[in-house]
Structure 1
């Protein structure tokens, strides 16, 4: 009897998914062209290969530069030509500013409390103003230029030493370390990628964050898999964020302690500037601790 109920449930889900997709597509005649074969539950996911952008390109040759697809139960529009991309990203920029939600990014950014993945609105506008006027303006970058010069000198010295002994070097990996160390020192005054110690663990954690943020997660597209966590993806992402939180809390507390004793001195790093903004009661938006953590977290992701 239990097997009969299971089969009936699957048939019911199949029929409801088919009806939903059929009615949704028929109710929106103004939508762009869409492949006819829409499977229940997975939508058009069966048309994508392990290299999605190539699959999108092939579909665009058949259906045109703008295509409407269902990635699981998530409707989306794919722009595949420079002209259509310009329409979305420049001409109608305000309608395309919000980033798609995903489980990984939601956890990693403390519920989209960063600047990059948060929705367009007052907070986004405020952070854009802070980034342009204080964090990454010409004056701040000039003041932090010594960090970039120092890291570049270390990079060249390391290549020279390896060349002298005939040791092979993965140049891509070394350049990644260079970029991450520059960003880490500009943000927190600490190097994030060394050969050993905590810095090495931070470097590996950044790599894990980057991989997790770009990984395919079934529950983001197929509502049936939101529970249970079949891939173990949610557990892995929570573990990554908890480990990051321990490290960034330690760094923030060190900065706050130094500021109490007026030990900052010299050039402020980006974390000091964010802490100043958070303590300024005249600001139209109050930065929380999680806002600062999330902002710091996404910088290495974008650099990678």
Structure 2
């Protein structure tokens, strides 16, 4: 009984501190207008209904083209004006360059060091230059044109086989997922993992499926830091395990290509730079670039 009393006392104290923190911040800064119906701790989360773009549109009709929402401990500014959105990506692009630091960026994104999650600065600029020139340039992508053509051919053959006898209903989403992942992984590591039945392919598909479940911005722990104290639903524990499994898998790919230097993949290309500039092309940097390519799909 005494333990429960202490828990309630600590929670009450926490509640007072959070409210005081929010009130102090509101007095120091001038935020865009927001709905008046903010709840303690939750903020405006109770106002969000699917589809979200409809909710934001309805709020913009009342509050204007720029308004703010408090989602738990995080402040979100919503912009529905095309002209203002353009200004955010031009005049104020540096101010708005950083992304929110969700826990997935700490564990899956190598402690916020990938080009997707790192803070704006020299490290981010170096990663952007590296990915722009060595990964996403037209010249680099053209070297893998035959892979894309082959994967499209495989997909069309599968579609043709499904409807060989008569018309057939086909679900396109899994086909496009298979096409995209196989395209990327053949360019990255020279391997197909979807449509293949072996232990490595099964392991990869399992890791991707698990990573999907942590993607996006729907994890309560990221909006209510107090939940980290109790590791809500073992969120951080499970994320730590997934991080280790992903890192082992990616490191295995790098080690394999370091031993066999006869293939023309993105990993081999980056490893060739590692020999002359090991500080700029570490294994962590290479693994982070591979994860960014996954992120384009996830």
Q: Same fold (TM over 0.5)?
A: yes
Q: Residue 243 of structure 1 corresponds to which residue in structure 2? A: 245
Q: Residue 293 of structure 1 corresponds to which residue in structure 2? A: 287
Q: Residue 256 of structure 1 corresponds to which residue in structure 2? A: 258
- 1:141-162 deviations in whole A, cap 9, x for unaligned? 1211111111111111111111
| Cα distance, 1:183 vs structure 2 | 0.7
- 1:216-262 deviations in whole A, cap 9, x for unaligned? 22221112112211122223322322222232222111100013xxx
Distance 2:68 2:268 in 1: 45
Which sits farther off after the overlay, 44-53 or 95-104?
44-53
Q: What's the TM-score once normalised by structure 1's chain length?
A: 0.88
The within-5 A match list for 1:95-244 is: 95-166=95-166, 168-197=169-198, 198-214=200-216, 216-244=218-246
CA gap of 1:222–1:213, structure 2 versus 1, over 3 A, is same
Q: Residue 75 of structure 2 corresponds to which residue in structure 1? A: 75
Distance 2:47 2:160 in 1: 49
Q: What's the TM-score once normalised by structure 2's chain length?
A: 0.90
| Cα distance, 1:163 vs structure 2 | 1.3
Native 8 Å contact 1:115 1:127 kept in 2? yes
Matched, 1:271 2:270: no
Q: Residue 62 of structure 2 corresponds to which residue in structure 1? A: 62
Distance 2:241 2:7 in 1: 34
Distance 1:251 1:59 in 2: 48
The within-5 A match list for 1:13-92 is: 13-28=14-29, 30-92=30-92
SS at match of 2:90: helix
Distance 2:105 2:271 in 1: 23
| Cα distance, 1:6 vs structure 2 | 4.0
Higher relative contact order (CA 8 A, sep 6+): 1
SS at match of 2:111: coil
Q: CA RMSD in A?
A: 2.2
Flag structure 2 segments of 5+ consecutive residues without an equivalent: none
Aligned length: 295
| Cα distance, 1:69 vs structure 2 | 2.2
SS at match of 1:303: coil
CA gap of 1:6–1:179, structure 2 versus 1, over 3 A, is closer
